[in-house]
Amino acid sequence: MSLTTTTHLNFRGGARAALEFYRSVFGGDLAVVTYQDARNVHGEADQVMWGQVLAGNGFHVMAYDVPPDLAHDRGENSFFVSVRGETVEEVTGHWEKLTDGGDVVVPLGPAGWAPPYGMVKDRFGIVWVLDVVSEYNA
């Protein structure tokens, strides 16, 4: 048996823009179903009822726009999206794109547990942690 997990991000009207941005950062295919497409009257017709970016490099994120009749409060530091790469170059490329319009929380650089490690809050308010897999030496 095998399980996988996928980060599912919830927005209030910004899901499509966020998914398009993440596709520009990580590549892959974008799929979006709007509330209108699904004939679901609970949301705004052109907003995302279900969407995802799925890339051949292993990146996968899902998102939707929370309907106006449901509460939505993301809170502070309620989650991070962690992206681990195999090389510094790979992670640096994604870092440079994610920081465009975002705020660096921890600059990308060497850390005791990873050759590069960094944390950025992107232009959509999502906090990303990027690093390179390294061997643990206690």
65 backbone dihedrals φ, ψ, rounded to 5°: -95, 120
**49: its two tokens:** 């009822």
* Tokens found for residue 83: 């992206």
Token pair 């969407």: residue: 51
Check residue 138 and give its pLDDT: 45
Specify the fold of 81-132.
3.30.720
State pTM to two decimals: 0.85
Segments making up each domain of the chain, as ranges? 7-65, 81-132
pLDDT for residue 61 is more than 50? yes
Residue 47 has a pLDDT of 93
Contact 49, 34 (CB under 8 A): yes
Contact 21, 123 (CB under 8 A): yes
If we measure between CA atoms, which residue out of 91, 128, 123 comes closest to residue 21? 123
- Which CATH topology does 7-65 take? 3.30.720
Higher pLDDT, 35 or 21: 21
Q: pLDDT digit string (tens) for 72-125?
A: 888 877 788 999 998 999 999 999 999 999 999 999 999 888 899 999 999 999
